[in-house]
Chains A and B, each alone.
Chain A
Amino acid sequence: MTFTGALVRLRAMEPRDADAQYRWMNDLEVTEHLGWRYPISSLAIAQRLDGAGAMTFANPRFSVERADTGELIGYTALRDVTPESRNGELDLVIGERSAWGQGFGTDTARTVCAFAFERIGLHRVQLWVVATHAPAIRAYEKAGFVREGVARERFFKRGRYHDAVLMARLAP
């Protein structure tokens, strides 16, 4: 089963996605604004994809493809999904540099929210984004996320502390 937005399609992650994920996770420009720090081996990525098991309410995760060409451009996931409060934390990475700045991130956020609210009945989707990552903040705002506050000096990266912005979207 896939979930299609205006520009992207979300499908289950597959072992064949390992090469692209390996490239993204070791690309310093991609990981600049992520909590990721250490080099990660293709072995570790392959094991994670292989060992992840079937998707359930607790761990929805998708590979993101362009709807027009089918090219793999990123991944997205919901973490820490709690059934009682029906909220989850959004992970979203457009790793393919050729796909940056064209609305794929915004459309991925919209599509995964549609999945979260309509398919699995979540009430709230939230995320933390490094305050200096302006394009991501704009993309999330366009996708309906609201800034709820700023955690000061929450992440250490590149030799200094960075603020993190809390953003969230509630179910319609």
Chain B
Amino acid sequence: MIAGSRVVLRERRPSDVPYAQAWLDDVDAMRWTLHPYPAAPDAYDVPGEPLSWGLVPLTVVDAESGRPIGHAGLGDMVPEHRRALCWIVIGDAAFRGRGYGEDTMRTLCRFAFETVNLAKVELEVVADNAAAVRLYERIGFVREVTRRRARWIEGAWHDEHLMGLFPEELR
């Protein structure tokens, strides 16, 4: 269990699956992600093995009620370079725009530096997803690269930013 102030990040459980199904079916939640297809019933992966270096998929729950509200995690870890790609999705519309995403990302990055001993956390975000870019910049992420026409979403090309964060930059 990894505690933030509004959220708790914890291991995924089979009981999260019905919630996750609703997030994956929510067009607003999924617009800027890489999953344009309707989600299969088993799309939310609940690992049976203990989590370890490499891929750490987590469920985000509301600290107050314990309700699953989204998912987040770290992946693509490279031991020599000590960096990882991270992601967050606040799937439950009732919890969007209220600071839950920001707390999730901050908590996830703290975990990445203090517990996993990473030296850098990176992420990819669609440039037109302005709210997300602002959120990441508030936390301390820096835009490093813009890949032009990197994603085809809802009938149009979109640029994508690669953003990165060092431990000393986390706010």
Contacts and interface: CB of A to CB of B under 8 A. Distances in A.
Chain A–chain B contact at Cβ < 8 A = yes
Interface of A: 26, 28, 37-44, 47-48, 156-159
Interface of B: 1-3, 9-14, 46-52, 56, 58, 113-117
B50 A40 contact: yes
Contact of A43 (B1, B3, B46): B46
A26 B1 CA distance: 6
Question: What 10 pairs across the A-B complex have the smallest Cβ distances?
Answer: A38-B51, A159-B114, A39-B11, A41-B11, A156-B117, A44-B50, A40-B50, A26-B1, A39-B10, A37-B115
Contact of B116 (A37, A42, A47): A37
Given A38-B56, A158-B115, A43 B48 contact: yes
9 contacts: A26-B1, A26-B10, A38-B11, A39-B1, A39-B51, A42-B13, A44-B49, A158-B115, A159-B114
A42 B50 CA distance: 10
B2 to A, nearest CB: 7
Contacts of A40: 11, 50-51
Contact of B12 (A28, A41, A156): A41
B14 A43 contact: yes
B58 A159 contact: no
Given A44-B50, A158-B114, 9 more contacts: A28-B1, A38-B52, A39-B58, A40-B11, A41-B48, A43-B48, A44-B11, A157-B115, A159-B115
Contacts of A159: 113-115
